[in-house]
Amino acid sequence: MSDLGGGEGRPAGRALSASDEGKVRDVHLPLDDAGWRGLRAGEHVRLSGEVVAARDAAHRRMWEALDRGEPLPFDLRGATIYYVGPTPGGPDRPVGSAGPTTSGRMDVYTPRLLALGLRGMIGKGERSAPVIEAMRRYGAVYFLAVGGAGALLGRCVVEAETVAYDDLGPEAVRRLVLVEFPVIVAIDAQGRSVWDPGESRVG
C-alpha cells in the first residue's frame, strides 16, 4: 500500500489564498502544514487525494494494536480518516454508497491518533472537547460531509482498496481516492467550530 501520509507526484494539501474566501476551495490530500493551518471553520472545500476509510470497529483494532506495542498497518502521518463503511460498487464503480457515520463514535480513540500524526477527519456531527483540544495541540482539521447523500458522495470515490482488518467486512480499513469530494470545514486547527456562536466563519 502507498504511504497515506504522503505521495510522490501528488500535490500536497494546500488551501487557496485568503482572497478566495467565500468560494469553494480545492484542497489536495495529504494535508501539509500549510494545508491544515490555512483552512478556516465554515469554508466549503472539495477534497481530492487519498484518505483512510475506518469506522468504529477498525478504530478499536488500531487502539488494541497500539496497546500491544504493534505498528499500525498504515502510516497515519499527514493522513485523513473518513468515517465511512462504503457499500460494494458495481462493474464500473469502486464503491456504492459512501456516506459518513457519526464522528462521536470515534472520539474516545481520536486524540491518540492525532498524536501519531493524523491531520484530517471526515464525518458528521460534533466532536468532544478532548478531541478539539487534541486538534489544537497537534494540528488537525475536521471536515463535515453531508449525511443522507451517500450515493452522491460515492461517485466522488474513484479508487478503493482494502488494506487492513479484512475480517471486519464493510468496516475493514480501506484506501480511498477521492476526486472533488464536497465538505465543509467544521472545526479548524485553531479549534474554531461552525457550532460556536459568534465565531467569524466563511460561507
Boundaries of every domain in the chain: 27-187
When pLDDT is averaged across residues 166-195 and rounded to a whole number, the result is 95
For position 6, what pLDDT does the model report? 38
Instruction: Give the confidence band of 98 by pLDDT, cuts at 50, 70, 90.
Output: very high
Across 17-31, 70-84, 157-171, 174-188, least confident range:
17-31
Helix locations, 28-121, DSSP H: 33-38, 56-67, 110-115
Contact present, 54 and 79 (Cβ < 8 Å): no
Each residue of 122-159: pLDDT tens digit? 999 999 999 999 999 999 999 999 888 899 999 999 99
Our CA angle for 5, 81, 185, nearest 5°, is 105
Chain-centroid distance of CA 175 in Å reads 12
For position 145, what pLDDT does the model report? 96
CA dist., res. 134 & res. 189, Å (int) = 9
Q: Taking Cα atoms as reference points, which of 105, 203, 119, 122 lies closest to residue 156?
A: 122
Query: pTM here?
Result: 0.86
Each residue of 105-123: pLDDT tens digit? 999 999 999 999 999 999 9
Chain-centroid distance of CA 154 in Å reads 15
Q: Regarding the domain delimited by 27-187, which CATH topology (the fold level of the hierarchy) does it fall under?
A: fumarase (3.20.130)
